[in-house]
Amino acid sequence: MDRRKFFLLTYGCQMNKLDSELIASRMIQGGFEETDREEEARILLLNTCSIRESAEDRVWGRIGAMKARKMKDPGVVIGILGCMAQEHQQFLRAKMPHIDVVCGTREFGRIDELVKESMETRKGVVATGEGGNGDLVHREVGQRPMRAQAFVNIIRGCNMPCTYCIVPATRGPEVSRPVDAIREEVERLVADGVTEITLLGQTVNAYGHDLERGTDLALLLRELHQLPALRRISFVTSHPSFLTPRLMEAMAALPRVSRYFHLPAQSGSSKVLKAMKRGYTRERYLARIRDLKSLIPDMEFACDFIAGFPGETEEDHRQSLSLIEEVGFSQSFVFKYSPRKGTVSADFLTDDIPEDVKARRNQELLQVQEQVSLAKNKAQVGEVREILVEGPSKRRKDRYTGRTARNRLVHFANEDPSLVGRYVPVEIIEAQAHCLIGELREETRTLQAGEDEWLGMRNREGMGR
Ligand code: SF4
């Protein structure tokens, strides 16, 4: 069995998935070879997530299973990377001697060296400082899983004080990447066939505050928008406090910037938002939405909610429900509150909402969102939308899926794999709460880069600028 083959398993958010692409790049540059078959690898790497207890539980289970493999074959190298390595470094060192490499969130830019050191010394290696974050890795652009789409990190870490969140502790303070480095990476991705990019950061719209004066997300969007081959540009995750007039103006002026905007509120109650230390009230959140809608009337919004935060009353919960209806989110991601050790809310607030109440509120938020989503999706029936084809449907072999410029998932009958990565028109024939069903239509003309459903809608509705 080849000692240099590695198997990399990823848990958690999109940022972790992108980090795994960078980890794989670095390992390959260091002379290792990736395999997707765990049994043929001698190096097992887990890129982990701490955001919720359930995510951690799955990783602990997997670490246990890897121990059995190590006992049979002591030459196997096991590495734990990312948030859990950062958060539980003491425990991993003290209680889990079968782990060979503990690599924190700001060290995986040198993961190949850490693995080699462990192989050579046959000792455990722990790196949880700031020796090299992933942005130091020269990305192998061909490493990405989707041909036409790519994620690009622009800012790491978080400076915000949200009381429920472990991210500032695991990922450290915000560090923005220079504009030139981002543009260079995006140009290489575009040269390799990418037409849609998503810029990533925990507080993506705080980008640039630690760089040269005048550098911000608005400037970066204007810079990237100059690349004509890029047909769609989006960014996640935004914080309402950094939705500045300058950013809104840039979004309005740049037609290829996505008209789907994920702006997590977390709660519709100003009282709960204060306890969360989110830095805005319900009214200010709504004012931001109004401001952006006044510039881009057809902008679609998506949201995150936490159900059952400590102290949340039925009235607070009703305010979250009403926020969904008032804004008319096209999508909401809802999570039950779970205390994370090391956060302010876990250490200083009482987790006083019973589990069954959290579950009910969670369900009610989802139900209201489903009604709103369904009504919005029904309004799409009969329209022709341009979608970027992503691949075969997971559930039905005779269907493929794609997304509109507003991030709506569309399933359509197709058996032609050559459509993957292409932009094709589909007529929407049926609406469900979570997706649309469409039928392929003839391409009557070639859509130019930047011409998308949004422009089509503007033309139909006569919205000039
Ligand atoms: S903005 Fe708040 S919720 Fe988001 S990563 Fe930072 S601390 Fe966590």
For ligand 1, whether the C-beta of 344 sits within 6 Å is no
Give the residue with greater pLDDT, 331 vs 147: 331
Cβ neighbours around 142 below 10 Å, total = 11
Which ligand 1 atom minimizes the distance to the CA of 165? Answer: 8
For ligand 1, whether the C-beta of 240 sits within 6 Å is no
What is residue 454's predicted lDDT score, i.e. its pLDDT? 39
Strand partners, 197: 150, 233
Min mean pLDDT across 137-146, 215-224, 406-415, 417-426 is at 137-146
User: Residue 160 corresponds to which tokens in the numbers above?
Assistant: 């915000």
Q: Which of 16, 158, 236, 238 is the best mutation target for the ligand 1 pocket, counting ligand atoms within 8 Å of the beta carbon and taking the most?
A: 158
Burial of 30 (0-12, 13-18, 19+ CB in 10 A): middle
For ligand 1, whether the C-beta of 155 sits within 6 Å is no
What is residue 253's predicted lDDT score, i.e. its pLDDT? 98
What is residue 144's predicted lDDT score, i.e. its pLDDT? 85
Q: What is the Å distance from ligand 1's center to 202 Cα?
A: 7
Q: Whose CA is nearest to atom 4 of ligand 1?
A: 202
Which ligand 1 atom minimizes the distance to the CA of 239? Answer: 1
For ligand 1, whether the C-beta of 372 sits within 6 Å is no
For ligand 1, whether the C-beta of 343 sits within 6 Å is no
Q: Which of 49, 167, 174, 272 is the best mutation target for the ligand 1 pocket, counting ligand atoms within 8 Å of the beta carbon and taking the most?
A: 167
Which ligand 1 atom minimizes the distance to the CA of 159? Answer: 6
Quote the mean pLDDT of the chain: 91
Does this model's pTM top 0.85? Answer: yes
Q: What is the Å distance from ligand 1's center to 157 Cα?
A: 9
Cβ neighbours around 359 below 10 Å, total = 13
Give the residue with greater pLDDT, 359 vs 448: 359
Q: What is the Å distance from ligand 1's center to 189 Cα?
A: 28
76-125 confidence digits (pLDDT tens): 999 999 999 988 988 888 888 899 999 998 898 999 999 999 999 988 99
Q: What is the Å distance from ligand 1's center to 160 Cα?
A: 6
255-266 confidence digits (pLDDT tens): 999 999 999 999
What is residue 448's predicted lDDT score, i.e. its pLDDT? 42
Min mean pLDDT across 130-144, 154-168, 360-374 is at 130-144
For ligand 1, whether the C-beta of 206 sits within 6 Å is no
Q: Is the pLDDT of residue 459 over 80?
A: no
25-67 confidence digits (pLDDT tens): 999 999 999 999 999 999 999 999 887 777 788 888 888 888 8
For ligand 1, whether the C-beta of 160 sits within 6 Å is yes
For ligand 1, whether the C-beta of 80 sits within 6 Å is no
Q: What is the Å distance from ligand 1's center to 338 Cα?
A: 15
CA 65 to chain centre: 28
Q: What is the Å distance from ligand 1's center to 308 Cα?
A: 18
For ligand 1, whether the C-beta of 345 sits within 6 Å is no
Position 456 confidence tier, pLDDT thresholds 50, 70, 90: very low
For ligand 1, whether the C-beta of 146 sits within 6 Å is no
For ligand 1, whether the C-beta of 236 sits within 6 Å is no
Q: Whose CA is nearest to atom 1 of ligand 1?
A: 160
Domains identified in the chain and CATH numbers: 5-134 (3.40.50.12160), 141-378 (3.80.30.20), 384-461 (2.40.50.140)
